[in-house]
Structure 1
Amino acid sequence: MDDVDRSILAVLEKYGRISNAELAARVGLSPSPCLRRVRRLEETGVIRGYRALIDPAAVGRSLRVFAGIRLVRHGRKDVVAFERAVVRLSEVVHCHHVTGNYDYLLQVEVADLAAYEDFHANRLANLPSVAAVTSYVTMKTLSADST
């Protein structure tokens, strides 16, 4: 991967729906070589896909909560059982296996606090090997996209 590939990736990361002609102009290539590079990046798995970023509030998921999960047991069987169960929960947007005070950090999106309370009590806390859940309600989210 060279500097041109890195430039292509930087532009695509910010403007995923950009046309090939515009991408080529931004990175200083003609369209054909640019398209070849993009296809090679896709074929080699550097570019894993393209997604739409959905406004959670527009689809009834205006409350974002980060949940720190501690497991009772850390054997492979217990970890696999937890991971298989947690990825099936539609409210969980991201699940990260982390170091530190928690074993997992989840990003959860639900309609409101009552929906999170129900999710926490009836689904999250009942996952295999969950010992404790610590919740952090998001008050505001900042990103480079929001400036």
Structure 2
Amino acid sequence: MNNTMKGNLKIDKIDKKILAILQSNGKITNAKLSEEIGLSPAPTLERVKKLEQSGVIKSYHAELNSEMLGLGVNTFVQVTLKGHNKQNIDSFLSKINEIEEVVECHHITGSGDFILKVMAQDIASYQLLMLEKVSDIDTVDSLQSMVILSTFKNSKQIPLPQSI
């Protein structure tokens, strides 16, 4: 059964299987991937290239162990801006993109405007980061920090809807 996604890209059962396998093992060889999906290597490679070129596969990267790298404090920070106009949002995003400790930034609904995921070495460096960089952004009205104590699920695999 073929299904059409944005841009008229057709995703079939084999493509879904490729996506599932690559999400769990991005370093799999084309030969092993072709073996697992039941196609020869050439058509398997063509399918992977099609998925990459269409933008369904955005990138391949290594997941690092933050604790081993000395990043022991991870937080979520809810940010409320002084105003909700385009200029304030653009200004905030421009400055937040310059702060490498902010590893995620999401525009949200609810009582805040953005939620950030921040990684720091320790509480002292986190406090300094918040005081000297994040709260110093002129469009920021308020911040609410939530320190992550434990992480029980951190999946990098997105669910593949039945409808694709």
Q: Same fold (TM over 0.5)?
A: yes
Kept in 2: contact 1:85–1:128 (CA 8 A): no
- Which of 113, 118, 126 lines up with 2:123 in the alignment? 113
Given the alignment of the two structures, is residue 65 of structure 1 paired with residue 75 of structure 2, yes or no?
A: yes
> What is the aligned partner in structure 1 of residue 145 from structure 2?
135
Give yes or no for contact 1:72–1:130 (8 Å, CA) kept in 2.
Answer: yes
Mapped contact 1:70–1:102 kept (Cα < 8 A): yes
Counterpart position of 2:99: 89
Report the equivalent of 2:160. none
Q: Give the Cα–Cα distance (whole angstroms) in 2 for the partners of residues 130 and 73 of structure 1.
A: 9
Q: Does 1:13 align with 2:23?
A: yes
Alignment check: 8 A CA contact 1:68 1:133 kept: yes
The alpha carbon displacement at 1:28 in A equals: 2.1
Gap change, CA 1:144 and 1:21, over 3 Å in 2:
farther
TM-score after normalising by structure 2: 0.84
In the TM superposition, what is the alpha-carbon distance from 1:143 to its structure 2 partner?
2.4
Equivalent residue, structure 2, for 1:79: 89
Q: Is the 8 A contact 1:8 1:27 kept in 2?
A: yes
Return the letter of the residue paired with 2:66: P
Q: In 1, Cα distance between the equivalents of 2:138 and 2:62?
A: 32
Supply the distance in 2 between the matched residues of 1:128 and 1:28 (Cα, whole angstroms).
Answer: 56
Number of equivalenced pairs: 145
Letter in 1 for 2:127: E
Aligned 8 A contact 1:70 1:131 in 2: yes
Write the deviation string for residues 89-110 of structure 1: whole angstroms up to 9, x where unpaired: 0100110111112110100000
**Which TM-score applies when normalising by structure 1?**
0.94
Query: Which of 22, 28, 34 is 2:44 aligned to?
Result: 34
Q: Which residue of 2 aligns with 1:23?
A: 33
Query: Which runs of no fewer than 5 residues in structure 2 stay unpaired?
Result: 1-10, 156-164
Unpaired stretches in structure 1, ≥5 consecutive residues: none
Q: 1:24 touches 1:31 (CA, 8 Å); kept in 2?
A: yes
SS of the residue 1:57 aligns to: coil
SS in 2 for 1:4: helix
Distance 1:128 1:19 in 2: 49
Give the direction of change, closer, same or farther, for the CA distance of 1:128–1:26 in structure 2 (3 Å limit). farther
2:8 corresponds in structure 1 to none
